[in-house]
Amino acid sequence: MRFATRANGTTDGELILISRDGARCLPLGARWPNLLHAITEWDALLDDAAAVSTKLESGTGDNVDHAALLAPLPRTWQWLDGSAFANHGVLMQKAFDHPPIETDLPLMYQGMSHRFLAPLEDVALPTEADCIDFEGEFGIVTDDVPMGCSAQDAMGHIRLILLINDWSLRAVAPAEMKTGFGWIQAKPACSAAPIAITPDELGDSWRDGRVCLPLRVEVNGAWFGHPSGDAMGYGFHELIAHAARTRALCAGTIIGSGTVSDADFKRVGSTCISERRAIEMIEHGHALTPFLRFGDQVRMQAGESENLFGELNQKVVQWVA
């Protein structure tokens, strides 16, 4: 099933179901006012959603107003972002002469979760001097996960899959990393594509806890990259188990894959500017690709033609107090 959130004047929006062809939608009704509430009663939600889905596929429903769609979860209880693509880390270490991180555990940090930007919303940031970057990622939404959950059991706690742009300010990040306390200023609000899908919607493209689809990125209408999520070093079930080792995860927790990256980067490109700049530094001794300027447009979608998540298409603008 394909869930989305429509603006209705409330913080969490109105939960709707999208038809398989993406053309029509219907609300889930008063029992399920928004996704943040509904994720806590998943089995009951699916029972009601099945009836709504039957109506949608028979041709009933409103036309989808894409401008009214918010992030599927405009806010949630927890956002944990991984860095599960080994190639990305290797390139960054080589370009900046950083020693490898000595761990066999997944990399993960806890980020800002009280706001996820809408898929067509302008991204307002203070200054171009912060070196504005995007990061194309896949993400999952869990139900309640008990502490100590195994990776095998964690597969059963993956309820929805998302497409995310994890905005990053590269000039700010190094100073924050040196403190050892994690990111605050370097990680503004993420954006999310409008449709959150259940894993079965991916069919054979959902394998071993991985979204095995290309994530296509364009900047100002020009291709930037389309690496596939199947190069992920840890599956989402393994990221859940890592996060839940010493604490339970509440329903509505979002876990990100980190920047989608592939060792065949010369053919498939990248999903963030920093990685492309790292490749240029390795090959030419200096970076050539600039970071984003105000007015630049970044577009993301998953798959060649499926477009299961809808699209992220956002302009970077200057924040004004």
- The predicted model scores a pTM of 0.96
Per-residue pLDDT tens over the stretch 131-149:
999 999 999 999 999 999 9
Reduced to 3 states (helix: H, G, I; strand: E, B; else coil), residue 259 is: coil
Parallel, antiparallel, or unpaired for β 168-169 and 132-133? antiparallel
Mean pLDDT, residues 142-169: 98
Mean pLDDT, residues 164-189: 92
Rounded Cα gap, residues 219 and 43, in angstroms: 40
Is residue 50 classed exposed, middle or buried when 0-12, 13-18 and 19+ CB atoms within 10 A define those classes?
A: exposed
Cβ neighbours, 10 Å, residue 9: 6
Per-residue pLDDT tens over the stretch 95-122:
666 677 777 889 999 999 999 999 999 9
Mean pLDDT, residues 161-165: 98
Write the CB contacts of 180 (distance below 8 Å, at least 6 apart in sequence). Answer: none
Which whole-number Å values give the CA distances from 116 to 55, 123, 134, 193, in the listed order?
Answer: 30, 11, 14, 10
> DSSP labels for 52-86?
HHHHHHTT-SEEP-GGGB--SSSS-S-EEEE---H
What percent of the chain shows pLDDT beyond 90? 86
Per-residue pLDDT tens over the stretch 278-312:
999 999 999 999 999 999 999 999 987 667 999 99
pLDDT at 93 over 90: no
